Amino acid sequence: MKKANKRVIPGFGLSMGITISILSIVVLIPLASLVVFTTGMDIGEILSTITRSRVLASFEVSFITALIASLINAVMGVVLAWVLVRYDFPCKRLLDGMIELPFALPTAVAGIALTSLTADTGLIGGFFAQFGVKIAYTRVGIIVALVFIGIPFVVRAVQPVLEKLDASYEEAAGVLGASRTRIFWKVIFPEIRPAVFTGFGLAFGRCLGEYGSVVFIAGNQPYETEITPLIIMSELQEYDYASATAIALVMLLVSFLILFLVNLIQIRNAKILKGGN
Amino acid sequence: MKKNILSLTLAATVLLTGLTSVTGCSSDKGSSSGEKITLTNVSYDPTRELYESYNALFAEHWKEQTGQEVEITQSHGGSGKQALEVANGLEADVVTLALEYDVNAVRDAGLIEDGWVSEFGNDSAPYTSTIVFLVRKGNPKDIQDWDDLVKEGVGVITPNPKTSGGARWNYLAAWAYAEELYSGDEAQVKDFIKKLYQNVLVLDSGARGSTTTFVENGQGDVLLAWENEAYLSIQDYPDDYEIIAPSISILAQPSVAIVDGVVDDRGTREVATEYLQYLYTDEAQRIAGDNYYRPSNEEILKEYADVFNLNINLVTINDFGGWDEAQTKHFTDGGVFDEIYEKSE
Amino acid sequence: MHSESKGSKAVKWILIGISFLFVFLMLVLPLITVIAESLQQGFAVYAEAVADEYTVKAVLLTLEATVFAVAINTVFGLFAAWALTKFRFKGKKLLSTLIDLPVTVSPIIAGLIFVLTFGRQSPIYPLLQELDIKIVFAVPGIILATIFVTFPFISRELIPVLEAQGTDEEEAAALMGAKGFTIFRRITFPHIKWAFLYGIVLCAARAMGEFGAVSVLSGHLRGKTNTLPLHVEILFNEFKYVPAFAVSSILVMMAIVILIIRSVVEYIGKREKDNVR
Residue A154 is classified by DSSP as H
Q: Which of B20, B87, B233 sits opposite C120 (nearest CB)?
A: B87
CATH no. for residue B167?
A: 3.40.190.10
Q: Are B254 and B97 in contact (CB under 8 A)?
A: yes
ipTM: 0.81
The reply to whether B206 and B109 lie within a common domain is: no
Furthest-apart CA pair in chain B: how many Å? 82
Q: How far is CA C163 from CA A191, A201, A272, B231, C87, in A?
A: 11, 18, 12, 60, 11
* CA-based nearest distance A131→chain C, Å: 19
Compute the distance between CA of residue B90 and CA of residue C137 in angstroms, rounded to an integer.
6
Q: Which of A14, A121, A243 sits opposite B217 (nearest CB)?
A: A121
pLDDT at A42 over 50: yes
pLDDT at residue A252, rounded to an integer: 86
Neighbours of B78 (CB within 10 A): 28
User: CA of B207: which chain A residue's CA is closest?
Assistant: A216
Neighbours of C89 (CB within 10 A): 13
Does B24 reach chain C within 8 Å, measured CB to CB? yes
* CA-based nearest distance A44→chain C, Å: 22
- Average pLDDT of the segment spanning C162-175: 83
pLDDT at residue B257, rounded to an integer: 96
Q: Which of A17, A119, A137 sits opposite B5 (nearest CB)?
A: A17
Q: Which of A27, A148, A171 sits opposite C151 (nearest CB)?
A: A27
Residue C51 CB-density burial (10 A; 0-12 exposed, 13-18 middle, 19+ buried): exposed
Give A58-76 pLDDT, tens digit per residue.
Answer: 999 999 999 999 999 999 9
pLDDT at residue C201, rounded to an integer: 86
Domain range summary for chain C, segments of one domain joined by +:
1-38, 42-276
pLDDT at residue A274, rounded to an integer: 56
Compute the distance between CA of residue A248 and CA of residue C213 in angstroms, rounded to an integer.
14
Q: Which fold is adopted by the domain A61-228?
A: MetI-like fold (1.10.3720)
- Count of domains in chain B? 2
User: Do the bridges between strand B313-315 and strand B248-252 make them parallel or antiparallel, or are there none, so unpaired?
Assistant: parallel
User: Do the bridges between strand B241-244 and strand B200-202 make them parallel or antiparallel, or are there none, so unpaired?
Assistant: unpaired
User: Do the bridges between strand B156-157 and strand B222-226 make them parallel or antiparallel, or are there none, so unpaired?
Assistant: parallel
Q: Which of A114, A117, A157 sits opposite C160 (nearest CB)?
A: A157
CB contact under 8 A, B164 and A137: no
Does A2 reach chain C within 8 Å, measured CB to CB? no
pLDDT at A273 over 80: no
Question: Which of chain C's residues have a Cβ under 8 Å away from the Cβ of A29?
Answer: 117
Compute the distance between CA of residue C145 and CA of residue C150 in angstroms, rounded to an integer.
9
* CA-based nearest distance A190→chain C, Å: 12
Q: Which of B89, B208, B216 sits opposite C119 (nearest CB)?
A: B89
* CA distance between the termini of chain A: 29
Confidence label for A241 from pLDDT (cuts 50, 70 and 90)? confident
Give C222-252 pLDDT, tens digit per residue.
Answer: 888 889 988 888 888 777 888 888 998 888 8
- Average pLDDT of the segment spanning A91-112: 81
Beta bridge pairs of residue B202: B157
Compute the distance between CA of residue B8 and CA of residue A263 in angstroms, rounded to an integer.
27
Does A239 reach chain C within 8 Å, measured CB to CB? no
Neighbours of C189 (CB within 10 A): 12
The reply to whether B141 and B247 lie within a common domain is: yes
The reply to whether B168 and B201 lie within a common domain is: yes
Helices A107-118 and C241-276, axial angle in degrees (round to 10): 110
Q: Which of C119, C139, C236 sits opposite B88 (nearest CB)?
A: C119
Q: Are B224 and B155 in contact (CB under 8 A)?
A: no
Does A133 reach chain C within 8 Å, measured CB to CB? no
Compute the distance between CA of residue B260 and CA of residue B268 in angstroms, rounded to an integer.
10
Compute the distance between CA of residue A214 and CA of residue A84 in angstroms, rounded to an integer.
29
Amino acid at B4: N
Q: Count, in order, helices (H) and strands (E) of chain B.
A: 15, 12
Query: Residue C39's closest CA among C209, C247, C224?
Result: C247
Residue B182 CB-density burial (10 A; 0-12 exposed, 13-18 middle, 19+ buried): middle
- Average pLDDT of the segment spanning A223-241: 84
The dihedrals phi and psi of B202, each to the nearest 5 degrees, come to -135, 125
Please name the residues in contact with C94: beta carbons below 8 A apart, sequence gap of 6 or more: A260
Give A203-213 pLDDT, tens digit per residue.
Answer: 998 898 888 88
pLDDT at residue A7, rounded to an integer: 66
Query: Residue A158's closest CA among A115, A128, A202?
Result: A202
Question: Which of chain B's residues have a Cβ under 8 Å away from the Cβ of A14?
Answer: 4, 8
DSSP element (H, E) containing B264:
helix B260-266
Residue C274 CB-density burial (10 A; 0-12 exposed, 13-18 middle, 19+ buried): exposed
Question: Which of chain B's residues have a Cβ under 8 Å away from the Cβ of C125?
Answer: 89
Give A130-186 pLDDT, tens digit per residue.
Answer: 888 888 889 999 999 999 989 988 998 888 788 877 777 777 777 777 777 788 888
Indicate whether B206 belongs to any domain.
yes
Residue B152 CB-density burial (10 A; 0-12 exposed, 13-18 middle, 19+ buried): exposed
pLDDT at residue B345, rounded to an integer: 43
- Average pLDDT of the segment spanning A25-32: 89
pLDDT at C1 over 50: no
User: CA of B106: which chain C residue's CA is closest?
Assistant: C120
The reply to whether B227 and B335 lie within a common domain is: yes
Helix, strand or coil, per DSSP, at residue B248: strand
Question: Which of chain A's residues have a Cβ under 8 Å away from the Cβ of C82?
Answer: 11, 15
CB contact under 8 A, A274 and C166: yes
Please name the residues in contact with B143: beta carbons below 8 A apart, sequence gap of 6 or more: B133, B135, B149, B154, B221, B222, B244
Does B141 reach chain C within 8 Å, measured CB to CB? no
Question: Which of chain B's residues have a Cβ under 8 Å away from the Cβ of A122?
Answer: 217
The reply to whether B194 and B81 lie within a common domain is: no
pLDDT at residue A38, rounded to an integer: 79
How much of chain A exceeds pLDDT 70, in percent?
A: 93
Q: In what order do the strands lie in the sheet with B255-258?
A: B69-75, B36-43, B94-97, B255-258
User: CA of A90: which chain C residue's CA is closest?
Assistant: C16
Q: Which domain holds residue B322?
A: 129-252+312-341
Question: Which of chain B's residues have a Cβ under 8 Å away from the Cβ of C222?
Answer: 73-76
Does B236 reach chain C within 8 Å, measured CB to CB? yes
Beta bridge pairs of residue B241: B136
Compute the distance between CA of residue C17 and CA of residue C31 in angstroms, rounded to an integer.
20
Identify the CATH homologous superfamily for domain C42-276: MetI-like (1.10.3720.10)
pLDDT at A272 over 70: no
CB contact under 8 A, A22 and B8: no
Q: Are A83 and C16 in contact (CB under 8 A)?
A: yes
Question: Which of chain A's residues have a Cβ under 8 Å away from the Cβ of B198?
Answer: none
Q: How far is CA B56 from CA B66, B96, C226, in A?
A: 16, 17, 21
Mean pLDDT, 10 residues at a time, chain B of 345 residues: 48 48 41 71 87 94 92 88 89 93 91 93 93 94 94 92 86 94 92 94 85 88 92 86 94 94 92 95 95 94 91 91 91 88 63
Give C125-142 pLDDT, tens digit per residue.
Answer: 888 888 888 888 999 999
Helix, strand or coil, per DSSP, at residue A90: coil
Compute the distance between CA of residue B323 and CA of residue C94 in angstroms, rounded to an integer.
47
Q: Are B116 and B136 in contact (CB under 8 A)?
A: no
Indicate whether B5 belongs to any domain.
no
